[in-house]
């Protein structure tokens, strides 16, 4: 079975990439849908109907299948390489995977609310939420590539620095949008 290892790993990576693509895009669609609720009629109805359709297709045709397949291939890899479960970096990675699954499930909850026209988040709050998957992706990639050589202090500082930069970028973008709503 080890002769198929590289094929299984390739499929795992492909579906991780498509899963993240869905997780990057779905909150953007949520933002657009939330902002559409602030429009006047008939624009509000037209836009919300379109965004609901787009999120439904993205969520059930790309995001959910990718999440299931990425997880399935990951489990298969762990069956083939059970020694990885002894590695400390793998424990940390699996912790981030649990966070990612939690993030995915919260996105599903938000998806269901917005499909029912329940808006509890502002577009700015959703912009902040949108960066959660980015932080998880950076953490996992650096952890997998660097593994045991990770200096945890620098890693933590790096993730917090990235989070601060992302939040500053969101604040700057908000100011630009306030000055120019078409931006």
Please state the residue numbers annotated as binding site for heme. Answer: 12, 93
Residues with Cβ within 8 Å of 20's Cβ and at least 6 positions away in sequence, in order, are 133, 137
Give phi and psi for 88, each to the nearest 5: -60, -40
Q: Are 92 and 143 spatial neighbours (Cβ–Cβ below 8 Å)?
A: yes
Residues 6+ apart with CB under 8 A from 37: 44, 48, 117, 119
Please state, in angstroms and rounded to a whole number, the distance separating the CA atoms of residues 132 and 1: 36
C-alpha distances in Å from residue 72, one per residue of 1, 8, 49, 143 = 16, 10, 33, 21
């Amino acid at each position: 079975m080890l002769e198929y290892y590289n094929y299984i790993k390739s499929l795992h990576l492909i579906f991780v990439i498509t899963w993240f693509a869905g997780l990057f895009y779905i909150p953007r669609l949520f933002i657009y849908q939330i902002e559409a609720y602030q429009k006047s009629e008939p624009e509000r109805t037209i836009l919300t109907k379109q965004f609901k359709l787009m999120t439904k297709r993205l969520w059930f045709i790309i995001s959910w299948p990718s999440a299931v397949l990425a997880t399935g291939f990951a489990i298969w890899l762990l069956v083939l390489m059970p020694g990885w479960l002894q590695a400390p970096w793998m424990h940390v990675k699996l912790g981030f995977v649990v966070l990612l699954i939690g993030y995915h499930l919260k996105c599903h909850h938000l998806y269901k609310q917005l499909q029912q026209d329940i808006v509890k988040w502002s577009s700015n709050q959703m912009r902040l939420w949108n960066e959660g998957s980015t932080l998880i992706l950076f953490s996992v990639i650096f952890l997998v590539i660097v593994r045991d050589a990770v200096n945890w202090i620098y890693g933590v500082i790096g993730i917090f620095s990235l989070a601060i930069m992302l939040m500053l970028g969101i604040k700057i973008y908000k100011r630009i949008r306030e000055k120019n709503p078409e931006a």
